[in-house]
C-alpha cells in the first residue's frame, strides 16, 4: 500500500492504529484553522489531541502526510469509517464561519482524491449523502459541524470533479503517467525540493548503494524523476523525498485568500486581546501552539495566551503589546 507522491511534507502522527480494512472510502474534514500542511502535520505529531489524519491540505495548496495509508488514522470518531477511509484535513482560508477554503486547497483536494482512488482501485468516487458512498463526513459519526458549511456543500461537486478525471484518465500535475525510464523511476515535471535534515544520503539507485556525496539542511535541488518516494536530481543521484519539502516556484505559488485592501478591512474588524473569546482566538492559540508555545487551546484569550503572543511578536520584531492588530495579523498570515 503506497502513499501519495503529491506530499511535500511528512511527519508521523502520535496517534494511529494498524489498518485492518480495505480502503474504500475517503473522509474529508476541515481544520477550523488557517494552516499550511506543515502546521497541521506538526500539530498531529505533537499529540496534544487524541486524533490524527492521513493527509493535511494547507490553505496554500500544500499537502502533508501524517499517517501512512496502511495505518488507521484517528479521525472520524468511528473505527468502522476510519478502518475503510483515507482521511483528509483541509485548511480554511479564513478561520471563522462559514469556514471557506481557498481555490488552491480545493484543487489540491481534487488531485489528492484522484490519486488515492487510482492507487486503491476506487473506480467511482460517489457521494450519496449517506455512509454508503465513498465520500464521508465527520458529522455523520459525531456531534460536530465538521466539515463546515462551505466544504460540506461542495461534496457533490467534489464527486463530479474527481470522477471526471478518473473517467478521462487525465494526468495529475506532479504525478507522471509516463512509463518508467531506464535509470529507474518515472519522469515528472521538474521541480525543486529543499532538504529538511542535516545529512541526506545520495544514492546510485532508489534505496540503493550510497554515493560519497551528501546534501545538507536547506540545500535545494532539482528533481526530474520519481520512484516510490525517491527523487532523482540531475548530476547527483537519488534522494529520499521523505526528507525534503517541495519548493513552490514564483509562477505557481497560489495567491493568499486575504490580500491588500480586503485584508486590511478584515483585520480592522478582528483585533484580539486579553478578554477576547471564540473560534478566532482558538485559531490564534493553535497557531502559537504549532510554533512551540505551550498553551491551552481553549478559545479564551487569557494571560497564558497573552504571554505567548508577546514572545511571538518579539520574535517577529514587533512591539510585544499582546494585541493582535494589523502588524501581528499580517505576520501570522505571511508565515501561515
Instruction: Give the three-state DSSP class for 284.
Output: helix
Q: Does residue 177 surpass a pLDDT of 70? A: no
Q: Strand pairing of 135-137 and 25-30?
A: parallel
Q: What is the pLDDT of residue 252?
A: 33
Residue of 32, 70, 110 lying closest to 285 (CA atoms): 32
Please give the order of strands across the beta sheet that includes 199-203.
210-216, 199-203, 237-240, 230-233, 220-227, 186-195, 244-247
Q: Which cell goes with 139?
A: 458529522
Q: What is the pLDDT of residue 320?
A: 86
Cβ-count burial 251-267 (b if 16+ within 10 Å, e if not): eeebebbbeeeebeeeb
Instruction: Give the three-state DSSP class for 171.
Output: coil
DSSP string, 301-336: --HHHHHHHHHHHHHTTS---S-B-HHHHHHHHHH-
Q: What is the pLDDT of residue 248?
A: 56
Residues 139, 30 contacting (CB under 8 angstroms): no
* Distance from C-alpha of 118 to C-alpha of 168, rounded to nearest angstrom: 12
Mean pLDDT of 197-218: 83
Q: Which cell goes with 64?
A: 502533508
Torsion of CA 331, 251, 160, 52, to 10 degrees: -40
Mean pLDDT of 179-208: 71
When comparing pLDDT for 102 and 267, which is higher? 102
The overall pTM is greater than 0.85: no
Neighbours of 165 (CB within 10 A): 19
Q: Which domains does the chain have, with CATH numbers?
A: 9-168 (3.40.80.10), 186-247 (2.30.30.40), 260-335 (1.10.101.10)
Give the model's confidence band at 235: pLDDT under 50 very low, under 70 low, under 90 confident, else very high: low
DSSP string, 106-162: HHHHHHHHHHHHHHHT-------SSTTSSEEEGGGTSS--TTHHHHHHTHHHHHHHH
- Range with the lowest mean pLDDT among 142-156, 185-199, 243-257, 266-280? 243-257
Residue % of the chain over a pLDDT of 90: 42
Structure confidence by residue, pLDDT tens digits, 285-313? 877 877 778 888 788 999 999 999 999 99
Q: Measure CA of the first residue to CA of the last residue in the chain; give whole Å.
A: 32
Mean pLDDT of the chain: 84
Residues 55, 72 contacting (CB under 8 angstroms): no
* Distance from C-alpha of 319 to C-alpha of 317, rounded to nearest angstrom: 7
Q: What is the pLDDT of residue 250?
A: 28
- Range with the lowest mean pLDDT among 80-89, 152-161, 262-271, 303-312? 262-271
- Range with the lowest mean pLDDT among 29-33, 65-69, 212-216, 323-327? 212-216
Q: What is the pLDDT of residue 254?
A: 34
- Range with the lowest mean pLDDT among 10-24, 218-232, 258-272? 258-272
* Distance from C-alpha of 236 to C-alpha of 205, rounded to nearest angstrom: 11
Mean pLDDT of 133-154: 91
Q: Is the dihedral of CA 30, 35, 36, 40 positive or negative?
A: negative
* Distance from C-alpha of 116 to C-alpha of 24, rounded to nearest angstrom: 10
Give the model's confidence band at 35: pLDDT under 50 very low, under 70 low, under 90 confident, else very high: very high
Give the model's confidence band at 249: pLDDT under 50 very low, under 70 low, under 90 confident, else very high: very low
Q: What is the pLDDT of residue 134?
A: 96
Residues 254, 104 contacting (CB under 8 angstroms): yes
Q: What is the DSSP letter of 75?
A: -
Neighbours of 14 (CB within 10 A): 16
Residues 85, 120 contacting (CB under 8 angstroms): no
Amino acid at each position: 500500500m503506497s502513499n501519495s507522491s503529491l506530499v511535500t511534507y511528512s511527519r508521523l502522527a502520535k496517534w494511529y492504529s494498524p489498518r485492518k480494512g480495505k480502503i474504500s472510502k475517503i473522509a474529508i474534514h476541515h481544520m477550523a484553522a488557517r494552516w499550511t500542511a506543515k502546521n497541521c502535520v506538526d500539530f498531529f505529531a505533537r499529540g496534544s489531541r487524541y486524533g490524527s489524519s492521513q493527509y493535511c491540505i494547507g490553505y496554500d495548496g500544500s499537502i502533508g502526510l501524517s499517517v501512512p495509508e496502511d495505518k488507521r488514522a484517528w479521525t472520524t470518531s468511528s473505527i468502522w469509517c476510519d478502518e475503510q477511509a483515507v482521511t483528509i484535513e483541509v485548511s480554511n482560508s479564513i478561520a471563522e464561519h462559514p469556514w471557506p477554503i481557498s481555490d488552491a486547497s480545493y484543487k489540491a483536494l481534487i488531485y489528492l482524491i484522484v490519486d488515492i482512488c487510482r492507487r486503491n482501485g476506487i473506480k467511482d468516487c460517489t457521494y450519496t449523502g449517506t455512509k454508503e458512498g465513498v465520500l464521508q463526513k465527520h458529522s455523520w459519526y459525531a456531534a460536530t459541524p465538521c466539515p463546515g458549511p462551505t466544504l460540506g456543500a461542495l461534496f457533490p461537486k467534489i464527486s463530479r470533479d474527481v470522477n471526471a478525471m478518473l473517467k478521462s484518465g487525465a494526468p495529475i500535475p506532479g504525478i507522471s503517467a509516463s512509463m518508467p525510464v531506464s535509470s529507474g523511476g518515472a519522469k515528472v515535471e521538474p521541480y525543486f525540493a529543499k532538504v529538511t535534515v542535516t545529512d541526506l544520503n545520495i544514492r546510485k539507485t532508489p534505496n540503493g548503494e550510497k554515493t560519497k556525496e551528501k546534501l545538507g539542511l536547506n540545500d535545494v535541488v532539482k528533481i526530474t524523476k520519481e520512484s516510490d518516494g525517491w527523487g532523482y536530481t540531475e548530476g547527483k543521484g537519488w534522494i529520499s523525498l521523505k526528507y525534503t519539502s517541495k519548493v513552490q516556484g514564483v509562477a505557481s505559488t497560489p495567491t493568499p485568500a486575504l490580500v491588500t485592501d480586503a485584508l486590511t478591512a478584515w483585520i480592522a474588524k478582528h483585533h484580539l486581546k486579553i478578554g477576547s473569546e471564540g473560534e478566532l482566538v482558538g485559531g490564534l492559540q493553535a497557531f502559537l501552539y504549532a510554533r512551540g508555545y505551550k498553551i491551552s487551546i481553549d478559545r479564551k484569550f487569557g494571560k497564558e495566551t497573552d504571554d505567548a503572543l508577546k514572545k511571538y511578536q518579539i520574535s517577529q520584531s514587533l512591539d510585544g503589546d499582546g494585541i493582535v492588530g494589523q502588524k501581528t495579523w499580517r505576520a501570522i498570515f505571511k508565515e501561515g
